[in-house]
Each structure stands twice: as structure tokens, then as C-alpha cells.
Homo-oligomer: A and B are copies of this chain.
């Protein structure tokens, strides 16, 4: 079990020194042990926890909820059901996020195709494509402003 300087941790995790200190301040990281000079010495369990933090942040969990999770983790094995519940709920949110993102990506791609058609039509006014993407309210629509 190695020990790491703040600089190394920043390097490895991608969090800035300031962010690491900030995370400790707000209790997202438990108080980090110090060497004689008062400098932080991180260990593998911190690295691993920071990996989790990165993952949760990256999927949109708020700092507040991560702190809640951190408290459960510190609360010991009795909190495992609660941790599962929290992660499952988050997992469902991520699922939803992905679904929405895909839908919206689809709309963007339809829009791109529409623009392509407009361009093609301008170059070759023979064919008769380029009607508005067509769809429900969710059309995301014509610019209706190419005056």
C-alpha cells in the first residue's frame, strides 16, 4: 500500500490540487493523514475513492449527494443496503440521461441531414426532397428564418 503526494494524486486522478483540498474541506474526502510537515499523504484507498467520485460526478451526481454517499461509506457495513439504493437510483437516472441524449442526438442528426438536403437541392434543383424533417412536435424544426 503506497503513499502519494498531492501532486501525484492530482496527476493520476485528474483532479486539481485545489479541488482535492476542496473535496476534503467539504467532507467528500475524509481528513487526509499528514506527514511531519503537515503535507497530505494519500494512499490507495483515497485513489480508489477518487475514482468512484470521478465516476459519480461524470454521470451527473451532485456534490451534495456524493457527500451523502461518502457518509454512508464511512458509516460501515450497516449502510450497504442504503448505498445500493442510492447507487441504483442514480443508475436509473443515468439510464434516463443516456436515453434522452440518444433521442436528442437523433434530432441533431436529422437536422444535419435536412441541411444536407437543402444543400443538395440548391446544387441540383431537379430532385424534390428536403421537406422539413417531419415528425411530432419534437421536430426541432425548420429554422424558419432563412429570410
A134 interfacial contact with B, CB 8 Å: no
What is the size, in residues, of chain A's interface with B at 8 Å between Cβ atoms? 54
What 3 A-B pairs have minimum CB-CB distances, sorted nearest first?
A: A48-B141, A45-B144, A73-B143
Greatest chain B CB density within 10 A among A102, A115, A122 is at A115
For residue A104, which residues in chain B have a CB less than 8 angstroms away from its CB?
A: 55, 58-59, 94
Q: How many copies of this chain does one complex carry?
A: 2
Query: Contact mask A70-83 → B, CB, 8 Å, 1/0?
Result: 00011011001101
Closest to A116 in B: B84
Partner of A146, one of B59, B77, B144: B77
For residue A55, which residues in chain B have a CB less than 8 angstroms away from its CB?
A: 104, 107-108, 140
